[in-house]
Structure formats: structure tokens, C-alpha cells
């Protein structure tokens, strides 16, 4: 089977998900401890319970032993070791238990011991309940804090980060990865520590009860440890293969779902299904391998455990009493139990550590666009009418690949300026700099004479209203999408803004008016309606500067007219920078700059630029001809229909 190479996004994901390294990394754990520290009392509680739980696990077998050796054996005429060879090394139980085990005269001894057994079992179950409950809760509390930190940090990162990082990966950090770390609390580190303590405890207890018998039975331990190590390595590799393949599946799924429109438009369903089937099969095979090793390890431990039972009976008969043999068999079983799922716990630790590392990596990603350090009293310095200036701005998304080259222009307060140019000329990039999604590589961007880098971002956002090419709408109601949760914009203000840009007409026609919930990204609105809604949003927020990146998508003439009218309302009394794709929009602006490959090549008013017969003239002619063509076609159609 030759698997097709995964898509690029998937390959990226692979490199990350592949990194399954150490199961223990003190540096990461120390950093994680900061999240656990506020709840450390609960951690001490859980660890403190390890000893009582252990003692309660020791007790039941010992009670049975007393029952056998003191009550049953005498009753059937057997006492001491079977065959009467020699008395058990530990002939009498620890005094506190003997005292307890002494039944009052009015209770039959076996009933008394049975009741005692029951009490111990219930006590042990209760303590274990408390232990795992407290631990899981601590884990969840700490993880909530960690998840909040991830979320908070995400909103400080510059837009460029989100341009480069696939959404799926970011979502994974805050969900799956945090979940993985939480598992460390429930099934990882604490379980491992508890297991080790218990195993040592049982080993010591067995030696105290009968050293010779213990030596004999523990003879299988080195052998078993060897097997466990070999299997653990195999399981780790298999598990890594599983994770790599699930990452591929995730990436493919994400890509397909995001691009479902394209998939269906280009009839790629069949092809995608085949690709997915291959990934799916590879994932299944990886699991089968890992399951096989897991089952084999389980069987090996089980066999070793049964072997010790055989050894205990074979060697022990004649040395120890039946009761002591029982104690040995029970405790050995408990000693081996943790070994069986050691590999599972190891994998949990590994994936927790890897997730932990990835989360911290995200938290360590420095925001490239930072707020200046300003004293609060300087805050009021940022007032003005909204003059914009770009001074010799150079900018590249990647290294030296400049998309803006030495761009300079000024917009005085209240002026309207338009940027035009072919697709990819760099128009949207200018707007991104003006909104400080990125910082320029050389030169400065100024608002009212202040370098944007010297201005708190909140201030900038308050002053500049941006209407983007692809309007972003949140899932929420129409009103919420206009007000964006700002308390000073009430229902009346929202409706006023909508009316001003003539968005109220279509809103009134929606099933619940302003309270109509919008689907994800406003999927239940048309492109023109989304645009009008974003105008209302910009108006309601009352910024000094309006930046508009007109949508490229075709809009019907009627909507276009209402958008034109809305735009006039919107830029009234504001400084406006407009990127217009329909040149008819900007015929009466104060100045037009023509961008070509990142440089301003022409500037002036509409008529002057036309008279120059340069690039603007060409753009205008092209558009004019296309429009004439389109209207000729529609005229012809209309004519045909008549």
C-alpha cells in the first residue's frame, strides 16, 4: 500500500504530533507545578492517603489468614504448617490486628472476621474514592487555569501568527492537549508514584512475613522486568505510529471540512474518500500492532503471576501455614497488578509531556506586535482629528519578499483617500499595517503624528474602524454583531446606526429582526447584507478614521446602490481610507493613489489621473469595458426574452 503524501497542513501537523519524547521532563513539570500550586493542599491530601490505602489493602488477606489458621484449621484438626514441618516464621499477627481479630464471646469467630473483612473493604473503597476524586478535581482546576492562559495568550498574538498557523492546530492546543495534560493527574504521574510506593510496600511486607518464601517468589521478578522493558519499548513505538496516523486523519478531515465547497464544486469526493480510506486503514493497522503488544505484555505478567502462585504452593507447603500461603498469594497478586498497566501509564505520561511541551511553546510565542510601555497619565495625549501618514514604509510577510516598497502618503483629517491597484498590488497590506496587524519593516505609520508602535492597541482600535474584505461576523444575534458587547452602545444606538446605513430594511425582514441569531460567520446573510451590517458596526462604534477594504465579490446593482449610499453616510465627517474595486465608488474622493507591485506609481484626483493616461486610466478603461460588456449581455438577454 503506497500512502499518498499527506497535504501540506497535515505534514506540518505531523512534525509536531510526532514529537513524542520523554515520559518525564522535570523542566516541564516544574512549570506545570505553577498551575497546580494553588491547589497543592489537595495534592498533599491525595499523597497522604497513599499509606492508609496501602494498609487497608494489606488487611483483608491477613484477616482471612487468621480465620484459616486460628478458626478453620483447628476445627478440622490441622494446625501450623501443612505436614507439621515447622511453624510459620511469623506465627502471630501484629498485635493491633490480633486484638481486633479477637471476637467477643457472643459472636461466632468467623462471623466476626467476616464483618471485619467487610469493614476493611468498604474503608479501602471509600479512601480510594476520595483519593481519585480529589486528584481528578485538582487536575481539572489546574487545567481550567491553563486553558484560560492559552486563550488569553491567543488574543495577544499578532494577526500574522494566525495567518501562518492552521486553526485546527490552535484549537488542539486548548482542547486535546490540555485534556492530555489533565490525564497525567488521573492516570499518569500520581498513579505511577502510588504504584511504586505500593509495590515497595508489598515487597517489604512479604519479606517480613516470610523471607525465604519471598525470595523464592521474587525470583521471577528480574525475568519479568526484562520482558516489561522490551514490550514497553515496542508499545511506545507502536503508540507513536498510532498518533502520527491520527494526526494525519485530523489534518485531512480539517482540510476537507474547511474546503467542502471546493471539494463538492470540483467533484473531488471520490478521490478524497479514497485518500481518507488509506489513512484510515493505516491508522487501524497501527492500532492493531499496538494492541497486540499490549495484550502480549498483559499475558506475560499474568503468566508470571500464576507462576509465583505455583512457586508459593510448591515451596511453601511444609514451610508455612495455609493462612500464610493465602496471604502470599493475595499480596503477590496486588504486587503484580501495577506492572500490568505500567506501559499504559507510560504512554499517558509520554503524551502528556508532549502536549505540555506544545502548550508551553504556544504560551512562549511572543506577540510580535506589542503595546508600548506608557504611563497611564500620558493616555490623553492620543487625541486628534484622525490624520494618517505613512512614511517610507517597507513591508514583507516573508523576509526580503517586499510587498510594500517605500510607500508614503498623508491623509489630513476629514479627507477621503482611495487606494487602487491590480489584485495582489498590496492594498490590503497597507490596511493591515494601518491597523497594526503587523509592523512595517522600515518606515513609520502615524496616526495624528504618533507612531502606531507608541500607541496602545486599544486606543488604535477605538480610533480606527475597519471594514474588511471578508466581513467577520460572530455567532450571536444581529444586534450583538453591531454592538459587539460594548455597554455604551444600547439598542437605540444600534438601530440608529443600522437605519443610517439602510441596513434596517433587510434586518426588519429577518424572522426575529435584531434578535435573529446569525449562523457561524453569518452564513445566513448575503454578501451585501454582511457588508451593510459591518457598516452599521463601524458607524455605531463612532471612530474618527474609517478604513474600508471593499469586498471583491460581485454584488447586485440594487445592493451596490445601497452600499454606495451607506458609504457616503459612513465617511461623513471622518477621515477615510478606501480600497475600491469598483472605481465608480471613488470618483469624488480627495485623492487616489495607484499601487503597482507595492509602490505608489500615480496619485491625484480622478479626472487628473484619467488625463495622465497611465495605469489608472488603463484600470478604469478595463473596468468600464467589462461593465459595458456585461450590460450589453444582459440587454441582449432581456431583448431575447421580450
Ligand X SMILES: Nc1ncnc2c1ncn2[C@@H]1O[C@H](COP(=O)(O)OP(=O)(O)OP(=O)(O)O)[C@@H](O)[C@H]1O
Residue ranges in contact with Mg ion by CB under 5 A: 428
Out of 108, 379, 424, 573, which residue is the one contacting ligand X (CB under 6 A)?
A: 424
Q: In whole angstroms, how close is the CB of 432 to Mg ion at the nearest point?
A: 9
Picking from 506, 507, 485, 494, the residue whose alpha carbon sits closest to that of residue 539 is: 494
Applying CB under 6 A, which part among 107-115, 179-187, 370-378, 425-433 lies near ligand X?
A: 425-433
Given the complex with ligand X, which of 175 and 553 has the nearer CB atom? 553
C-alpha to C-alpha distance for 247 and 181, rounded to whole angstroms: 18
Out of 70, 198, 427, 574, which residue is the one contacting ligand X (CB under 6 A)?
A: 427
Contact 442, 379 (CB under 8 A): no
Query: SS3 of 602, please?
Result: strand
Given the complex with ligand X, which of 405 and 605 has the nearer CB atom? 405
Out of 267, 423, 458, 557, which residue is the one contacting ligand X (CB under 6 A)?
A: 423
Q: Is 429 in the site for ligand X (CB under 6 A)?
A: yes
Out of 403, 465, 466, 567, which residue is the one contacting ligand X (CB under 6 A)?
A: 403
Q: Is 585 in the site for ligand X (CB under 6 A)?
A: no
Q: In what order do the strands lie in the sheet with 575-579?
A: 464-467, 545-549, 575-579, 416-421, 591-596, 599-604
Out of 6, 168, 426, 483, which residue is the one contacting ligand X (CB under 6 A)?
A: 426
Chosen from Mg ion, ligand X, none, partner binding at 425 (C-beta under 5 to 8 Å by type)? ligand X
Given the complex with ligand X, which of 476 and 614 has the nearer CB atom? 614
Q: Which residue is at the shortest CB distance from Mg ion?
A: 428
C-alpha to C-alpha distance for 48 and 22, rounded to whole angstroms: 28
C-alpha to C-alpha distance for 332 and 202, rounded to whole angstroms: 8
Out of 133, 223, 266, 397, which residue is the one contacting ligand X (CB under 6 A)?
A: 397
Q: What interhelical angle do 189-209 and 342-364 show, nearest 10?
A: 150
Given the complex with ligand X, which of 201 and 426 has the nearer CB atom? 426
Contact 69, 321 (CB under 8 A): yes
Q: Is 615 in the site for ligand X (CB under 6 A)?
A: no
Chosen from ligand X, Mg ion, none, partner binding at 300 (C-beta under 5 to 8 Å by type)? none
How many chain residues are in contact with ligand X, going by CB under 6 A? 12
Chosen from Mg ion, ligand X, none, partner binding at 500 (C-beta under 5 to 8 Å by type)? none
Out of 428, 477, 524, 526, which residue is the one contacting ligand X (CB under 6 A)?
A: 428
Neighbours of 542 (CB within 10 A): 13
| Secondary structure (H, E, C), 225-291 | HHHHHHHHHHHHHHHHHHHHHHHHHHHHHHHHHHCHHHHHHCCCHHHHHHHHHHHHHHHHHHHHHHH
Q: Is 425 in the site for ligand X (CB under 6 A)?
A: yes
Chosen from ligand X, Mg ion, none, partner binding at 345 (C-beta under 5 to 8 Å by type)? none
Applying CB under 6 A, which part among 187-195, 255-263, 416-424, 554-562 lies near ligand X?
A: 416-424
Applying the rule CB under 6 A, the residues between 160 and 179 that interact with ligand X are 163
Chosen from Mg ion, ligand X, none, partner binding at 526 (C-beta under 5 to 8 Å by type)? none
Picking from 157, 191, 194, the residue whose alpha carbon sits closest to that of residue 174 is: 157
Sign for the pseudo-dihedral over CA of 424, 425, 428, 430: positive
C-alpha to C-alpha distance for 244 and 356, rounded to whole angstroms: 17
Residue ranges binding ligand X (CB under 6 A) = 163, 397-398, 403, 421, 423-429
Amino acid at each position: 500500500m503506497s500512502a499518498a503524501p499527506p497535504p501540506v497542513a497535515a505534514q506540518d501537523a505531523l512534525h509536531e504530533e510526532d514529537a513524542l519524547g520523554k515520559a518525564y521532563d522535570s523542566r516541564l513539570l516544574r512549570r506545570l507545578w505553577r498551575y497546580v500550586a494553588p491547589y497543592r493542599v489537595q495534592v498533599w491530601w491525595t499523597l497522604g492517603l497513599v499509606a492508609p490505602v496501602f494498609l487497608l489493602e494489606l488487611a483483608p488477606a491477613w484477616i482471612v489468614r487468621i480465620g484459616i489458621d486460628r478458626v478453620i484449621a483447628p476445627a478440622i484438626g490441622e494446625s501450623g504448617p501443612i505436614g507439621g514441618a515447622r511453624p510459620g516464621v511469623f506465627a502471630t499477627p501484629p498485635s493491633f490486628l490480633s486484638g481486633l481479630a479477637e471476637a467477643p464471646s457472643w459472636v461466632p469467630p468467623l462471623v466476626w472476621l467476616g464483618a471485619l473483612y467487610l469493614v476493611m473493604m468498604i474503608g479501602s473503597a471509600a479512601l480510594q474514592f476520595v483519593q481519585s476524586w480529589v486528584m481528578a478535581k485538582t487536575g481539572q482546576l489546574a487545567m481550567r487555569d491553563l486553558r484560560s492562559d492559552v486563550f488569553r495568550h491567543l488574543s495577544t498574538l499578532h494577526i500574522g501568527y494566525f495567518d501562518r498557523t492552521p486553526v485546527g492546530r490552535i484549537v488542539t492546543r486548548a482542547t486535546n492537549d490540555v485534556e492530555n495534560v489533565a490525564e497525567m493527574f488521573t492516570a499518569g504521574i500520581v498513579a505511577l508514584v502510588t504504584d511504586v510506593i505500593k509495590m515497595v510496600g508489598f515487597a517489604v511486607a512479604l519479606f517480613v512475613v516470610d523471607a525465604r518464601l519471598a525470595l523464592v517468589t521474587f525470583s521471577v521478578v528480574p525475568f519479568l522486568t526484562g520482558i516489561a522493558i522490551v514490550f514497553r519499548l515496542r508499545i511506545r513505538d507502536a503508540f507513536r505510529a498510532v498518533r502520527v496516523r491520527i494526526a494525519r486523519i485530523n489534518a485531512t478531515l480539517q482540510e476537507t471540512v474547511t474546503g467542502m465547497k471546493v471539494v463538492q464544486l470540483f467533484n473531488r469526493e471520490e478521490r478524497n474518500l479514497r485518500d481518507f480510506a488509506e489513512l484510515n486503514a493505516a491508522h487501524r493497522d497501527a492500532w492493531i500492532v499496538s494492541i497486540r503488544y499490549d495484550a502480549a505484555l498483559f499475558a506475560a505478567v499474568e503468566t508470571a503471576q500464576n507462576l509465583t502462585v505455583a512457586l508459593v504452593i510448591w515451596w511453601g507447603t511444609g514451610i508455612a501455614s495455609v493462612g500464610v500461603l493465602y496471604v502470599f498469594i493475595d499480596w503477590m497478586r496486588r504486587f503484580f497488578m501495577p506492572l500490568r498497566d505500567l506501559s499504559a501509564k507510560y504512554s499517558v505520561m509520554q503524551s502528556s509531556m508532549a502536549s505540555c511541551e506544545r502548550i508551553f511553546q504556544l504560551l512562549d510565542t511572543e506577540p510580535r506586535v506589542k503595546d508600548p510601555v506608557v504611563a497611564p497619565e500620558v493616555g490623553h495625549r492620543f487625541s486628534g482629528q484622525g490624520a494618517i501618514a505613512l512614511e517610507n514604509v517597507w513591508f514583507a510577510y516573508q523576509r526580503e519578499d517586499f510587498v510594500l516598497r517605500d510607500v508614503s502618503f498623508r491623509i489630513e483629517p476629514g479627507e477621503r483617500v482611495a487606494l487602487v491597484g491590480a489584485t495582489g498590488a498590496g492594498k490590503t497590506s497597507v490596511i493591515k499595517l494601518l491597523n497594526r496587524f503587523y509592523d512595517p519593516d522600515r518606515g513609520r505609520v502615524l496616526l495624528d503624528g504618533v507612531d502606531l508602535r507608541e500607541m496602545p492597541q486599544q486606543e488604535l482600535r477605538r480610533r480606527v474602524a475597519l471594514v474588511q474584505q471578508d466581513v467577520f461576523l460572530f455567532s450571536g444575534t444581529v444586534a450583538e454583531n453591531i454592538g459587539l458587547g460594548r455597554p455604551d452602545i444600547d439598542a437605540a444606538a444600534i438601530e440608529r446606526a443600522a437605519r443610517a446605513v439602510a441596513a434596517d430594511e433587510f434586518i426588519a425582514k429577518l424572522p426575529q429582526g435584531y434578535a435573529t441569531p446569525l449562523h457561524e460567520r453569518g452564513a445566513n446573510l448575503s454578501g451585501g447584507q454582511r457588508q451593510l451590517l459591518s457598516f452599521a458596526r463601524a458607524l455605531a462604534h463612532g471612530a474618527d478614521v474609517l478604513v474600508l477594504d471593499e469586498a471583491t465579490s460581485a454584488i447586485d446593482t440594487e445592493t451596490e446602490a445601497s452600499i454606495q449610499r451607506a458609504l457616503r453616510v459612513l465617511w461623513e465627517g471622518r477621515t477615510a481610507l478606501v480600497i475600491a474595486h469598483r472605481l465608480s465608488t471613488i470618483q469624488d474622493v480627495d485623492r487616489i493613489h495607484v499601487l503597482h507591485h507595492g509602490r505608489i506609481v500615480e496619485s491625484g484626483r480622478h479626472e487628473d489621473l484619467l488625463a495622465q493616461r497611465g495605469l489608472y486610466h488603463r484600470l478604469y478603461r478595463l473596468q468600464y469595458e467589462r461593465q459595458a460588456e456585461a450590460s450589453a449581455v444582459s440587454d441582449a438577454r432581456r431583448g431575447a426574452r421580450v
